[in-house]
Amino acid sequence: MSSDDRGPRVTLSDDQWRERLTDTEFQVLRRSATEAPFTGEYNDTTSEGVYRCRACGAELFRSTEKFSSHCGWPSFFSPLAEDRVRYITDTSLPGAPRTEVRCAACDSHLGHVFAGEGYDTPTDLRYCINSISLTLETTGD
């Protein structure tokens, strides 16, 4: 691990990641696969808390920024802080490029962010995040 002003950075080899993650988690988090829609454990979750990166534990999103987009994956209108995620232009599909969202601490694939879809949120953004990329640390009851 290394660190800078944004906190600890997690740098592991593929073999080390494979030891930490299940095969499915590895495919999504380290190989940018996508879980099937409407199958993830957090798609319909309304519990209060903080969503962390499943690979490294970095805090990424709060439940207060989660909203129901009916797209099949958990949706957030903003990350906990901009320095918690990084963005990559994704041209893997034909048509318009998408913006991939990765954990800034360990570079794991989280999902994609979309703008201008007309959702009634403060940012007009939809962070479409794989449930398998997250763990929820609940607060309260």
How many Å apart are CA 85 and CA 103, to the nearest integer? Answer: 5
CA distances from 113 to 7, 61, 97, 129, 139 (A): 23, 13, 11, 8, 26
Would you call 56 a catalytic residue per the annotation? no
Q: Which of 53, 103, 106, 128 is catalytic?
A: 128
Rounded (5°) CA angle 37-118-115:
70
> Nearest 5°: phi and psi at 131?
-55, -40
Maximum Cα interatomic distance, the chain, rounded to a whole number of Å: 45
Rounded (5°) CA angle 77-86-41:
55
Q: Which residues are catalytic?
A: 128
